[in-house]
Structure 1
């Protein structure tokens, strides 16, 4: 998919003014995409910002504007998705950390498949860090220099947990988590090993590759 995605990004860049007009109609102010490798195959992670991205998604699906039609056909052929239909599933926000108002140097969206039958267990992790473990988890973010949001998204291949991370140094933040012996952070690593199958005490999985960051 990567080569075709690069060509598509270049084609959109050549039609920048049409893209701007399209997103202004949809009230979308920023559009970012990452390519995420998983054991189940490559995933494309899309993040939209605007007044109401869900309404923008519905309007985009219905649009017959020439650029929108081209965009939907081109992206749909690449991803095997019918963009004339609204994207049917919107993720469920289950956790958001204390925001940092400063501009982070790095940001990434990550898609992690949950192990079969572990979705409710992952929701319980979110309930813990939203509740009795909130102070300890806030301290982790401060020490690691990272903020994060979590969503759960059902897909035909199974449920995913979507993470959005911001940090001035994502590698350093992950290294902090890997070596930490703090009670809350050790609990978190053990709990997510059970739901994600990823051992955050070891080398982290490869981060997704950002394909584009388009701003109106």
Structure 2
């Protein structure tokens, strides 16, 4: 998925990624495992049109996982959804449009990556 980052929100996007890797890591990992997500990568890319957030997700059933993220009433999922909407200015309720799996290109700055594989950090 690729969405523009709202003007003036790039540093907030970086802090969001840091929060996932830090203070909210345990809750984040538990949520992703519950959803069947095996890997998630969040990146930043600068384009001629401004900054964009790139999200790549691997899951057993990507459509179901995205649907649960977008409709869950669990506190972490609500926080995640609301933060994404604030930073990107996009309501991602149309999760069925987000089921393609983009790859990161060399011009993207990887800010966060998680995988459920044993031995990963």
TM-score range, shorter chain: 0.7 to 0.9
Task: Flag structure 2 segments of 5+ consecutive residues without an equivalent.
Answer: 102-121
Larger Cα-atom Rg:
1
TM-score, scaled to structure 2:
0.74
Q: 1:205 to 1:196 in 2, by over 3 A?
A: farther
Partner of 1:137: 28
Q: Deviations over 1:97-137 (max 9, x none)?
A: xxxxxxxxxxxxx2211111111111111111111100010
CA separation of 1:165/1:207 partners in 2, compared to 1, >3 Å: closer, same or farther? Answer: same
Kindly tell me: are residues 208 and 134 of structure 1, through their superposed partners in 2, closer, same or farther at Cα, counting changes over 3 Å? Answer: closer
Structure 1 stretches (4+) deviating beyond 4 angstroms? Answer: none
Q: Tell me how far 1:205 sits from its aligned partner.
A: 6.2
Are 2:12 and 1:121 aligned? yes
Residue 46 of structure 2 corresponds to residue 154 of structure 1? yes
Q: State the 1:207 CA deviation.
A: 3.0
Gaps of 5+ in 1: 1-109, 211-216
Comparing both chains, which one has the higher relative contact order based on Cα–Cα distances under 8 Å and sequence gaps of 6 or more?
Answer: 2
Shift of 1:208: 6.8
